[in-house]
Structure 1
Amino acid sequence: MKQLTTYLPLLFLLLLGACKNAKTGSAAQLTDDALMDTVQRRTFNYFWEGAEPNSGLAPERIHMDGIYPEKDQNVITSGGSGFGIMAILSGIDRNYITREEGLARMEKIVSFLEKADRFHGAYPHWWYGDTGKVKPFGQKDNGGDLVETAFLIQGLLAVHQYYVNGSPQEQALAKRIDTLWRDVDWNFYRQGNQNVLYWHWSPEYGWAMDFPVHGYNECLIMYLLAAASPTHGVPASVYHEGWAQNGAIVEPHKVEDIELHLRYQGCEAGPLFWAHYSFLGLDPTHLKDEYCASYFDEMRNLTLVNRAYCIRNPKHYKGFGPDCWGVTASYSVNGYAAHMPNERDDQGVISPTAALSSIVYTPDYSLAVMRHLYDMGDKLFGPYGFYDAFSETENWYPKRYLAIDQGPIAVMIENYRTGLLWKLFMSHPDVQNGLQKLGFK
């Protein structure tokens, strides 16, 4: 008995260590599918357990340190919520939650959206989740945000297709979603019938933000939905003259000795969220139009440019390499920043969403990053998946999340595994009509 008592503290420490290892473990112990499921399920929880309670929608940010700017814990995001409801759909389909639980959450979300502030049918970037009133994204950005609205509608149309042939209760919800979709006045955001879409409109400042949207960037989905609308659809000329600028969007060039075909706004190769946001529902596989022979190949090459830049690592940051790459818009040591694969916009920050959300384009390379980051342990992997960003050079590991970065991880892992969100969104008849209208094949 005396010998056993002597060893009890040691046994306790060994058991504690075993429990800790069981919680995180080593990526080498997991199959690819088990690793993806672990990451997807944790990330899904941002939008399920971490949701704002009144609306059911995604908080703009969750800081595990409890420190928030401007006391905005109850601020929710429209675009990030669009990504989040797609993540919830994948969770329903994978039995992370029951179908009944998922439907109840979707009903709560739609009930909120029916009453929340809208501006000619378009939603703002942010609301206060407890009231549904707009929280200005900036002084003059206190009205409709057509790009964030498009991200939200992309998710809602996937939900519509998930429920449209379901139970009477599910079909009733699909009908309510259809009304929200039809209420968005895309034509209004042409600012007087110009052949271009404007990003913002404010009831107080009108068109003062003055942001006509040209490609290529993250906004392709906005132009597709504007053309697809059965009630306020824009003519195809808005896409061809506004987004594609009469063909000027085509600009073949090489970055990191990798071919790109499109002109990227303000840079040679954009941040990787440009390969993600529009393609969470819009399936890039075999997708082409008169400006791009293969959107899948173009987005894969954009991903490969990002990886090649990080491997070359011209600024000699610690940790960058074949299993640790990916720069995109995220938190940084100096606040939020749009990191890009060039020396001007590279701050030595790796954003897990960059490589992980590109898994549909570069599965082997993205899984290598996933394994490496998972093996870095609790300083990167928390209750809602991988934290938003880190810098080994600065020894900077903030335990903070952003909705708009977490959502694409869960959605694109699901698209890689089953194509679920692609199948749902692409099956919507209005989406198919919009693609045909714009000349997509």
Structure 2
Amino acid sequence: MNDHYDHYDLVVRAERAITPTGDQGCELGIRDGVIVALEPWGTGLVGSEVLTLAADEILLPGLVDSHVHVNEPGRTEWEGFASATRAAAAGGVTTIIDMPLNSIPPTVTVEALDIKRAVARDQVFIDVGFWGGAVPGNTAQLRPMHDEGVFGFKCFLLHSGVDEFPQLDVDEMETDMNELAAFDSILIVHAEDACAIDAAPAASGDHYEDFLASRPREAENIAIAQVIDRARRTGVRAHILHLSSSDALPMIVAARADGVRLTVETCPHYLTLLAEDIPDGATAFKCCPPIREDANREELWRALLDGVIDCVVSDHSPSTLDLKDLGNGDFGVAWGGVSSLQLGLSLMWTEARERGVSLNRVVEWMSSGPASLVGLPHKGALAVGNDADLAIFAPDEQFVVDATALHHKNPITPYAGKELSGVVRRTYLRGRQVDGAEPFGELLRRRDE
């Protein structure tokens, strides 16, 4: 696994590293930002710089988070490329894919994509790619955005929360699926059925159970069935965003067995939080679809371990404090979104180790899984030929979450005060340490490989 040169820009020596072949000691040889050698611990690779991990540290591939709302331009007070990418790097994330909303303009045309790239270009601390949006009337824009390098297209089957990114009805979704199938792009879907939610009791007040009743599992189940049906007809690649209803798992399994090209993600909040534990008025916990009950969470974990769920991503969807209605704690009024971009690895590792689940599996779900989803074969694993994106992780070190100490722009998170295991001590992007001062991340385009 050596490229026959004996000198590298950087050599990283780790007694423990999570590699595609397991947890093992290794030495990485890095040149021009790429891993060009991966040898057993003790080989003695020579480099201009040598980094030897401490005994309590594990070398991980940088994480890939394919579901992040950066919100810039237009709602930069909610978040922004500088704050989001600093937070990501602090959590061991070296690549994010930005959602096409809640920026203004939304990324639904090539012109809007150009605006977003121009704003992001000089302020990203890690690598950033972009999703396009599928909204009513922009079918003709999909191929041009694809040709400009977006990683796929997002749609909603109900109101998105912002008026400038309207929902598709199911027939419009099928029209766009046919279009995307023609050039093998992917449609990623916020799958909740608008009619089912309209029929449910409206959310209001400070009781979480009332909000939960307003976003029933049935709404997800109906919408996911619709996505499966139309994906089956069109042959498109389809992806279910932020799965929270475990009731949908059997139909997902059956669809895949039938050859439907379907992938699924879930998020740390659905795997670590419980509806039963959410206090009255605690609107930091509000997200859509909602955090559900303990029994539901157990089914999601089972599906994750069985490979039914492909990856775990943040769905980092921040807002300003006032939009969370902290004064009243009204779940019907508050913005729905959880801020967790910086915390995902620690959240998942804390829960996984209590369940006897290995760090290797967590890395699969949060690094190689999302990299595979979006088509970044040079990301997501410690392997020769890949970008030298690295996270140095101390799995046994503990910390208590302080919302004001996070790099997120707005200091609110449902995890405030929670003790977590696992600290990211350093993050490297293409072999260079991310210091939060110099933004040298790159804007990524989809690769046709």
**TM-score, normalization by structure 1:** 0.31
Structure number with the bigger relative contact order (C-alpha 8 A, sep ≥ 6) is 2
Which one has a larger percent helix, Structure 1 or Structure 2?
1
Structure ranking higher in strand proportion: 2
What TM-score do you get using the length of structure 2 for normalisation?
0.31
